[in-house]
Chain A
């Protein structure tokens, strides 16, 4: 079946511009995660959506970053007034559901990422 898809695959933008990155999770997956992969910081969590609950934004590095998930499916990560340090690969992952306290762990399936370059 179809995996997690992300678009665009590459994005080059000028410093100060806003960008939107899109994630289409696996159909039926209720949990959705955004991560960032950069040379300096490695792989780091950004934001997490689970069903209709309020998102966990604890990993967002600044208020220039925001994300939304419409209809419990597609998610968009928006970066306003981009800076050169925002250059990274932005990865989206989805999971059948959150484990919760006692449930078994659920694998996170990653998309191929969007490579963002801020010039």
Chain B
């Protein structure tokens, strides 16, 4: 059972454009929703995270939008840069169950100069 579904699998955006990645989850017990960025040969690094009591969180060019009723959340990268080219993973976890992360399938983002 795939508990977190992520789309698209790949995304090409022009420099300066907006990159949008979407995720949907099934388990309503999830209460923490982070996004990770991964460069080739490196481990994932936390980009931004949100809890379900807020609908939006912004950090610099990165924004998470969260829709609890639809069980969906998305990452928006404003003014996308070539250095943003990486694989992005959404994830979800439960605080009362060890906080182990359930990941989406990943989105490979390429930002063209």
Contact = CB atoms under 8 A, between A and B. Distances in A.
Interface of A: 4, 31, 33, 35, 42-45, 48, 50, 56, 59, 91, 93, 95, 98-103, 105-113
B51 interface: yes
Interface of B: 32, 34, 36, 41-46, 49, 51, 89, 91, 93, 95-96, 98-106
Contacts of A98: 98-99
Contacts of A4: 43
Contacts of A31: 98-99
A44 B91 CA distance: 11
Given A33-B100, A99-B99, A91 B43 contact: yes
A111 B44 CA distance: 8
Given A45-B101, A108-B101, A110-B44, 7 more contacts: A4-B43, A43-B91, A45-B100, A59-B100, A100-B96, A106-B99, A107-B49
A105 B105 contact: no
Contacts of A50: 98
A35 B106 CA distance: 15
A115 to B, nearest CB: 9
Contacts of B41: 112
